[in-house]
Amino acid sequence: MNKNTLKHLAIIMDGNGRWAKERGQKRVKGHEKGAEVVREITTYCANHPSIETLTLYAFSTENWKRPKLEVEFLMQLLDKWLKNELEAYQKNGVRFQAIGDMSRFSKKLQKRIETTQEETKNNKKLTQVLALNYGSRAEIVDAVNRALEEGQEISEESIGEYLQTPYSDVDLLIRTSGEMRISNYLLWQLSYSELYFSQTLWPDFSPDELESILKDFESRERRFGGV
């Protein structure tokens, strides 16, 4: 059996809050530890022979329902993260991209996102996509409306062109923490994806576990609706 080629990996990074609670810590400590894991996994993917795109669910449109102080911390953490990670992006050849509705973010954070995208746009080893204030249903509705506004006939191809994620379809989706839901994430792009649900909380996720999951992915038979 030929090995499956993994080009686009998507991850729902779940379990930061539970990780902190298990240790008697505030939820924000889980987010801080989770950010460190993002760096480790991104570095691994940048050095993987076939992975071209890593899309991470960082903040959903539903996450605004969380306590105000936690949301504010997450915004500050993202701003700090992007500032500190720029050197690592350049060193590892990682191009940073963000998808979602940035309009609810502060002007400072919007500027940080724009600047990081601009300064890493020529990096070629890996595209890291952060889904920020992102919801897949909203993305699809927006794509259809944009296509109609420009007089395009609605088809799979035209909708695909207007999505915020004009990259390859997702080959493999991983969700950590034992939850077995898609949570309004990349619904269009996941049509024929392989799914893997890890029991590990995101702050404990490691490149070694990812490598084990990738071996499982390689052993699967992908038919894409055929026989």
| Residue range 120-168, pLDDT digits in tens | 999 999 999 999 999 999 999 999 999 999 999 999 988 989 998 755 7
Portion of the chain with pLDDT greater than 70, in percent: 96
pLDDT tens for residues 202-215? 999 999 999 999 99
Q: Count CB neighbours of 137 within 10 A.
A: 11
* Backbone Cα Rg of the chain: 18
pLDDT digit string, tens, across residues 46-89: 999 999 999 999 988 888 888 888 889 889 999 999 999 999 99
Chain-wide mean pLDDT for the chain?
A: 92
Q: Could you give the residue numbers annotated as active site?
A: 14, 63
- Asked if the model's pLDDT at residue 1 lies above 60, the reply is no
| pTM confidence score | 0.93
